[in-house]
Every structure is written in structure tokens, then in C-alpha cells.
Structure 1
Amino acid sequence: MVYPIVMEDIDLNLLVALDALLAEGSVTEAAKRLGLSPSAMSRTLSRLRAVTGDPLLVRAGRSLAPTRFAEALRDPVHAVTQDARAILRPAASEIDMATLETTFSMRVSEAFLEFLAAPLVSAMTDAAPHVRIRFVLKPDKEPHALREGLVDLEIGVLGVPAPELRTRLLLRDRLIGIAREDHPLLTGEAVTVERYAACSHVVASRNGEFAEAVDEALEKKNLKREIRVVVPGFPDAMRIAASTFFVAAVPASCLGKNGVNGPLAARGIRGFELPFETPEILVSAIWHPRADADPAHRWLRDIVARVCRAAYP
């Protein structure tokens, strides 16, 4: 005889626990994520094993590994729990940011951390003092972190095409040159493309590559520059330019509101307009559509946009 399943037979909390266990691969870490004790999470895992008829997580040395059945459950369980949270979350008018307790994870560049993280944290904590903020450095432009719900928001330049993702333009940027204030390039004569190319250069490249938009622009003029140093991020390039006679190309936003007209005396460097054109840099907020209607996420997007407008009007 087949007995019908009624709502009393279904404990949706088990789905939340299963999502945490499959994401963390650890009873202890899943317990921390849900604010439970390890023993309570262990009992929940036992219940899940009984309900599914599968061990789900098995010992592999000192860690736990998912079974094939658990691997197959990972994505659908995560999607269901995300949808459930979105459905059951209070409407915008019912959310009080002053009392909201949640964690926002944002994937950002090293340059964003250097120049915008502080004002963003200040603005967010002033309005929502109980909100926690997690910044994660972006090693690439792949969309998997947003698709898998590992981060709530990504800030940067669109990379790999992902048509389902939502975007909001934060600022239009451009590359400028920087060098220490006593650099020969900035004394006397105008900065020509020939004089610029003849300098020694430090390049910021996340992937450690030597070529970038500047080199493509120089190649069109049958010129080539000498790249002496490659660093992971623009702040690194600025530090090296400040202490050597290397020249760097960085987004104008790295120099703050005053751009090339504002010498960064504390760093001992000065910006200058590049003597050639490079593509415009469009910095956007990027998120997955599952969070589009979420009022707390909408607040996050709005405050990020407001901080960027204030920093770069």
C-alpha cells in the first residue's frame, strides 16, 4: 500500500541542512554555517541518511566525501533552498535595515578593496549595523561564483558571457599613466607616445600576462614598450611606480576624485593623460537573477552604486 505524503511528513529544514553539508563537506563547518552544535548537525545528518537511504557523506581519510547520489543532489538542493529563502523573505516594506542580521559576500578586485572598500563598509554599517560583509578577491571573470550562490554581488568588468546575469553600471573609467613626480617623463617636454614607449614599465595583470590594452594601442603606432615588472593588481603597480622610475597605466579611479589633476603626494606619484586612446573601462555591479527581487539585495546594490557615485561623481 502506498501512503500519500502530507506536509507533516516533510521537514524542509533538512533541505537547508543538506545544502550546508554538501557545500561545506564537513559536519563541523556546516554546523558553524547554520549556527548549530556539531552534535546537532551530526544527528541531522543521520536523519538525512535515513530519509534518503544513502550515506551522503563518507569518510575519506581525515575528511568527508560526497557519494554519487549526494553529488547529484548538490545543485537541485541548493536551487530549492535559494528559491525557498527568496519566497519566504519579508517584503521590502517589512525589512528594517537597522535590525537586519545577514552576511553579504562580494567578489571584488584588489583595486576596489584598496580604494572603495572603506567608504562602502562605513556606509553599510551606518545604515545596517548588524550586517556582516565578506570581501572575496576575484582571480578571474568567470561567472560560477554568482551562479552557484557563493557570492551575492560581483563588482568589476564583465568577462565571460553569461546572459542570465543582471548588471548595473557603477562608473565609466579609463586608463591613465602614473609616474613618480620627479620622473623625467613628467619634466619639461610634453608626454608624447614616443617618450612614453621609451620608458621602463610596470604592468598590472591578474593572469601574469605582459600584454594589455596599452600594448595594442602602441602596436598600432608601430611602437613597443619595455615591460620590466608584472604584478597582480593596480595598487601593486602604483607602489612600485612610487619607489622606482617605472611607469604604470592604471584606471583613473585609482587616483580618486581629482584624477590626473590631483597629485598623490603621500605616494609621491602623479597621473598624466596617455598620449593615445585605450578602450573605456565599464565597471558594473553583477548579480544572479535569483537575488533580483530580494529587498535586502536591492539595498546592497543601491548602496554600492551610491558609494561609487560619491567617490567618482
Structure 2
Amino acid sequence: MSRVDLNLLIALDTLLSERSVTRAALRLDLSVSAMSRTLARLRAATGDRLLLQAGRTLVLTPYAEQLSQRIPALVREAEVALGRADPRLEIATLEQRFTVRAGEGFVDLLGAALIERVRQAAPGVQLRFAPKPDWNAQPLREGNVDLEIGIVKTSAPEVRTRLLLRDRYVGVCGVGHPLLIEGNVSLERWVAYPHVAISRTGQADDPVDAALELSELQRHVPIVVPSYTSAIQLARQSDLLAVVPHSCLGNAFLPDYAAANGVRPFELPLRVPAFNVSAIWHPRLDRDPAHRWFRAEVSAVCSAAYPHAYPQMADSDVRQSRS
């Protein structure tokens, strides 16, 4: 171990993040000259320039770009491994903030029930819901997000997942929409009306369109929105039809959610595959007592909200993602 200075990992992590010797020195409370010497040591250790001058800024070399995907998680895991181990967890006095990345539907439908349950057990805990613009696992790797809720679409092989509920898609329209007044919802009548589509990334990845490829019919989509809650509001205020998860229509805590939002559900006239909603986290948090407790609270809320769609699983049933 005499040839390996693990302190260099901290410096490398900071340099890759800041892309500036001056800012990295400030974060680590070092002089700029000391930070420059550390960068020289890192270059000698890795055999790569790591940071190169580009005008007035520094840019990462291709190898440094690769390291930037691995080093943050490695540093966080080292900090956890070398921190003081304390298996005892006093929930009542726990003071911690959990950052959760979830869609607007989860926040609207389960946010209040989750924070109420958490506050009863641990009044010092704060929940922070972060936007979910994509399925990139980097925020989990870097520790910026503690838990993600949704469909497992990340390509990160190391993330851990736990199935929360099995969901399916249904159609919704405004109260009084002629589609439901006129009788049976056939595929031909369904595609005859304009639709609002949902795409978080703006790409054409809607499972409904994939299912429609099996038929010779196409739907007219004059508008695309990033969330199911927005689609529900548009359907309420217009003649647009929307396709949303069944869980967005309400739950045991909010049984009249769909009616309160002025929409009526109906079964789709085509087969769209069901899907899993999971909790997703980085493996460095697997054995963290506070995180295990929080995962259990999220699972319990989903169980109570959707008892017929909830898989009975213990925390030991978590598995590594292969998707």
C-alpha cells in the first residue's frame, strides 16, 4: 500500500467535478500551488493528462471523462466504509434529509401519505423530491439522490431495485366526453379523437404507439407533455384523450382523485403491456440503517395505497438491476 495514496482519490474527485485547479483548491482548503502539485501527482499516477487547457478553462481528457463516471461513487463508498460503524438507529431522534427522484404523479398521490407516516416515526426527517427529467443513474451514483421511484430504465448494472407495485395503463377523458356517451369504446372510435401523449424526454417512446404499430390505425397527437398529471388536466379541459397509469386515478388515500380532477377512466381498446414501479438506489446504501428504514416506509405506503397491486416482498428480496 506504500505506493498508493488514497487521499489522491479525494483530490481527483474534486478536480473532475470542479474542472478548475483554483476551485478545487478552495473546496479542499489547499493553496493553488499545492493543488497544482497534487494534479501533477495524479497525472504521474494515471499516466494521463486528465485536465487540459482550452482557452481560459480546463476540459477533461477522454480518460478523465471515464473516471468521472466511477470516481464519485468510489469516494462515497470509501467514506462509508471508513466511517464509524454504528448499527443502532434511533428513529425518533433521526435527523436526516432523504432526496427522492420521482414523477409528479407519485408526489401528488403519495407525497402527503408518505411524509405523514415519516413524521409520526421520525419528526426530524425531511423529504426532498427532485425532478425526474430522465432515467440517468448518475445522480444515484454521485449521492445527489438517495432513492428513485419509477420504471427501471437505467443501464447502470450496479443499481439495486425493489418492486413496489404492478401497474397498467388506462384511458381517461373529460366528464361528458362523447367517446363514452356514444357507447362502446372501439379502437376505431378511440383513434378518431385527438390525443395528448406523455414523454418525459421529448422522444417518441410512448408504449401506446408501440402497441398501435400492430394495427393499421394511427392516432392524432397534437400535443406532448412531460407528465401524466399534465395530461390529466389537459384531458379535463378539452376533448383530448390521454393514457395514464391506473395508479394515477387514485388510491386508498385518495379514492376520488379522478373524479375530483374532472376525468373519467375507461379500458383501452388495445393491449398495452403492464409495467413495474420500483424503488431504485445505489448499492452503497444497501446496509445503511436509516436508508433501509426509509425504503421500508416507502414500501409500506405503496402497500397501503395499492393493496391489490402490491407484491409482498421483504427487504431481502431486493435484486440487482440487469435492465
Using the size of structure 1 for normalisation, the TM-score is: 0.77
Amino acid in the other structure paired with 2:192: A
Note the aligned Cα RMSD (angstroms): 3.7
Amino acid at match of 2:78: D
Task: Provide the residue aligned with 2:118 in structure 1.
Answer: 124
Q: Name the CA shift for 1:121/1:239 in 2 (closer, same or farther; >3 Å).
A: same
The residue that corresponds to 2:223 in the other structure is 229
Which of 75, 78, 96 is residue 83 of structure 1 equivalent to?
Answer: 78
Check 1:89–1:166 CA distance in 2 against 1; reply closer, same or farther (3 A cut). farther
Which residue does the alignment assign to 1:170? 164
Give CA-to-partner distance per residue, 1:43-99, whole Å, 9 cap, x none: 456797498476999xx999x96998xx6986547523433324535444x111222
Contact 1:263 1:269 in 2 (8 A): no
Which stretch has the larger CA shift, 15-24 or 155-164? Answer: 15-24
What is the CA-CA distance between 1:267 and the residue it aligns to? 1.6
Instruction: Map 1:252-267 to 2 at 5 A.
Output: 252-257=246-251, 264-267=258-261
For 1:282 and 1:147, how far apart are their aligned partners in 2? 22
Equivalent of 2:236 in 242, 263, 270: 242
Report the counterpart of residue 304 of structure 1 in structure 2.
298
1:196 aligns with 2:190: yes
Matching residue within 268, 274, 278 for 1:274:
268
Q: Is the 8 A contact 1:256 1:312 kept in 2?
A: no
Cα gap change, 1:89/1:154 in structure 2, threshold over 3 Å: closer, same or farther? farther
Q: Percent identity?
A: 45
CA distance in 1, matches of 2:18, 2:122: 28
One-letter identity of the residue aligned with 1:83: A
The match for 1:140 is 134
Output the CA distance in 2 between the equivalents of 1:53 and 1:200: 58
Structure 2 residue aligned with 1:33: none
Gaps of at least 5 residues in structure 1 are: 31-37
Deviation per residue, 1:187-225 (Å, 9 max, x gap): 141111111111111111112235622122223232111
Offset at 1:138?
1.6
Residues 252 and 212 of structure 1, relative CA distance in 2, 3 Å threshold: same
Stretch deviating more after TM superposition (47-56 or 239-248): 47-56
Count of matched residue positions in the alignment of Structure 1 and Structure 2: 293
Deviation at 1:23, TM superposition (A): 4.6
Structure 2 residue identity aligned to 1:84: E
Question: Using a 3 Å threshold, how does the CA distance of structure 1 residues 219 and 296 change in structure 2: closer, same or farther?
Answer: same
TM-fit CA distance, 1:257: 2.2
Partners of 1:111 and 1:235 within 8 A in 2: yes
The structural deviation recorded for 1:166 is 1.0
Q: CA deviation at 1:302?
A: 0.7
- Greater shift, 156-165 or 299-308, is seen at 156-165
Rate the CA distance shift 1:187–1:284 in 2: closer, same or farther, 3 A. Answer: same
Residues 224 and 144 (structure 1), Cα distance of their counterparts in 2 relative to 1, 3 Å cut: same
Q: Secondary structure at the match of 1:140?
A: coil
Alpha-carbon contact 1:179-1:271 (below 8 Å) kept: yes
Instruction: Provide the rounded CA distance (Å) in 1 between the counterparts of 2:99 and 2:154.
Output: 20
Match of 1:35 in 2: none
Structure 1 pair 211/289, CA: closer, same or farther in 2 (3 Å)?
Answer: closer
Task: Give the whole-Å Cα distance in 2 for the aligned partners of 1:162 and 1:242.
Answer: 38
Query: Residue by residue, what CA displacement relative to the aligned partner does 1:162-198 show, whole Å, maximum 9, x if unpaired?
Result: 3321110011111100001100011141111111111
Q: 2:151 aligns with which of 136, 153, 157?
A: 157
TM-score by length of 2: 0.75
Structure 2: where are the runs of 5+ without partners? 43-50, 308-323
